[in-house]
Amino acid sequence: MSEENKHRATAAAILPLVGGAANVTSVAHCMTRLRLGLRDRSLVQEEALTALPAVMGVVDDDTYQIVLGPGAVARVTPEFEALVAAERAAAPERPAAPAAPAGGSDPVSAEELAAQGDALRAERKARNATPFKLFLRRIANIFVPLIPALIGCGIIAGLNGLLVNLGRLPGLTPALAAIASGFMALIAVFVGYNTAKEFGGTPILGGAVASIIVYAKVADVEAFGQHLSPGQGGVLGALAAACLGVYVEKRCRRWVPESVDVLVTPTVTVLVSGLATLFGLMFLAGEVSSWIGDAADWLLAHGGAGAGLLLGGLFLPLVMLGLHQALIPIHTTLIEGAGFTVLLPILAMAGAGQVGAALAIYLRLSRNTSIRTTIKSALWPGFLGVGEPLIYGVSLPLGRPFVTACAGGAFGGAFVGLFNQLGTDVGSTAIGPSGWALFPLLDGSHGLARTIAVYAAGLLVGYVAGFVATYWFGFTKTMLAELNVAPDAPAPASPAPVATEERVRERV
């Protein structure tokens, strides 16, 4: 089967399992996930969906997210959109197909763990629907579409740096530098465009206001007793400027007569927001951006190992709470200022802990072929930084192994943080990838070879620490008696209770 036919087949298999085209309200994708807006999530046949070979896992959040992995999701999404459009055109009135009734499952099988993961996701989603966390998701929606360009330009920048260091192809390296730097020079414009789009304004007006920040002639403007610099305030200034533009635009739409709206509203929006940006927001956002960079440098220079321990150990719980989205503009600000973010390689150690924990679970539950099969299918995506299948399908439902996996991430983060403290910065020129997929994006203060060596050693520490912690402390005797049996073996004398977070805490 050709690649095109394979992705079309995947899309065709997914569509009926999410309730058909009539149940789909929106389609989008990020780096690894197909994100669907669904009218009725009870129509999703999740057990059959997760059984598809191309599906690595699902996440039930503000959108229904199907994990397909990097590369595949960008090819499946347009096929899925085409199928949705075709089905709606053929039978727009057809109701969505009902979900198949869920059957029973063995209490110690991978299906049981998946059910427990589903219950935990539902509880987490209910807790995460707070105004603050919903706001963070909107901020993430602004920056996530920029990730492919950040990755592509970051890899080109790394290749260019390698060629420069080796003294190779001197006629090509200036061109590669221009290709790699062009997007970052104008990233504020894209942030402004996405901000206006996300908050209900006219996207091009958001981009127009944000473009003021990168215009070279802003150096002639004086604010707060000093001349501005092109790019001052960066993505934070663009975010604030576009938000102000949306507010001004909405006020104008409310009061300006329709006959002159097309002339007055864009003019007033750009003028008012532009003046506020030049004489206030650029300076203030520049100060905040500088503070973020200085704070990150100070944190890792003075408490690198301890900071790495906390960041690596707590990152996955932050993801569970939806608070990790607050880090996206911080990463982008660091990349814009220093050329790389020193936080991402430390946070990537959380995935290494999960991989190490999964290997330990695989050995400890030697008789449970169902769970071992799940681990085998999810392990390689885990090495590449796609951790959802391991988290939601294995470690989180088991409870205690999730905690020991976080411990592995903490040790890996402490290792990388220690080298930052000793003066060897380990950074990433883009956000999004993790695990082995982060190697092409690495950059640092002491050459690429040392940066790669430290990051690779950090991953190894995370793998080993996650494995050791889970193998020796990840299971109680009761858990082993309950879980380390073949799927077709008789259930334990005491039946497994319904999956809740209280049950997970009991296992911890």
**Phi and psi, residue 97, nearest 5°:** -70, 140
Helices and strands (DSSP H and E) totals, the chain: 22, 8
The active-site residue out of 30, 153, 243, 406 is 30
Query: Among this protein's residues, is 30 annotated catalytic?
Result: yes
Whose CA is closest to 330, among 412, 443, 431? Answer: 431
Q: Are strands 33-38 and 57-60 parallel, antiparallel or unpaired?
A: unpaired
Residues 6+ apart with CB under 8 A from 73: 29, 30, 31, 32, 33, 34
By the 10 Å C-beta count (0-12 exposed, 13-18 middle, 19+ buried), 434 is classed as buried
Tokens for 221, please give them: 């403007």
CA distance linking residue 79 with residue 131, whole number of Å: 34
**Phi and psi, residue 55, nearest 5°:** -95, 120
Whose CA is closest to 215, among 188, 194, 181, 197? Answer: 188
Hey, how many other C-beta atoms are within 10 angstroms of the C-beta on 237? 28
Q: Are strands 33-38 and 24-29 parallel, antiparallel or unpaired?
A: antiparallel
Residues 6+ apart with CB under 8 A from 473: 400, 404
Whose CA is closest to 140, among 290, 330, 288, 350? Answer: 330
CA distance linking residue 241 with residue 238, whole number of Å: 5
**Phi and psi, residue 383, nearest 5°:** -60, -35
> For residues 344 and 336, is the Cβ–Cβ distance under 8 A?
no
Catalytic residues: 30
